A and B are shown apart, each in its own frame.
Chain A
């Protein structure tokens, strides 16, 4: 009798805890989304409406025409095209070469494996900021690639970054070896095993790598500023920084440009999201 009562009260406690935790979560989610909402809301208002006190929570008129006006000064499609010219080949090459490296480290025996792997892990802690200047000198003085996309793209043909190699390795290690061995008895070589057994099994890891590479390049304002000079080749990031400079306080137009630039990342994220979380879950475990 007494016992069941205590269970009941504990259950009630549990319910209270659950619903208050959920309430806190909703509050945090609202706070986290507020900046994005406010930016979007501001993009649909006139500057006069923006400079009013107190600010209105909802746009009085939803001025989607602001976007077509902003597009006249902000050639979003050109910038998007340039950004994609950099990102698409880099993401593909980075994902493929990281998969190759990760597979070799996870499955194959070869001389110097430990040493090479230590070098890979070591480079995870080597800041990109440190190698920036020598690489710039290499691309511009040695290869004469100034005002070019190539210095931004070519590095991704070289392994796709230590973290990503590591991530693929972790993933491949979880696949039962029997699968490889069975294929090997059937006469498949290592490349065949990689392409027909490993790759289908680690699809979510590869999508994770692709998304991490996407975000990394998407955010890399510094290198884009260093290597690209002419306005014909501007990316979204450089375009935005120029746009901000030319329209000092036309906040409505700047918010339009900002919102437009949000969209491609959100779309890519929504497409890859399911795999992405699964992929991160794998890496988190083994660290």
Chain B
């Protein structure tokens, strides 16, 4: 029965702190360029993990991040048309033996290690070429809306953590959609 009491108390405390998301992810810049008949999208993000997330990382929990990019054609009085969409996933973990943080691009399998978490987050935030596509997909002349966000994938967290994630806003680590226009 103690567990039930603890559960109720925990839920109560978590509900109280629902509005307090200490830190988070913000996309600071998004660029689109056309190189060799290709559209290339890069974004820069500022990532600051809160204590709960850092604690989980330092305790061996692998964190998965997703950089999601969309190119939309805006329409009046009608939902926008999605022209392109790309998603890049990254895994951030801590290597206990070497006391280093490992950042792995899940698409390419490329992995890099960092002595500090800040270094790893700096590299994670510098997302070059997150979307590369044939520029012919976007007909000229037109103005397109680019949207990008970077978020922690809570669905990849271990199952025992998921009920907690549902009710704890400190785990809702996601940038708002960053938008900018692309002229063709």
Q: Do the two chains belong together in a single complex?
A: no
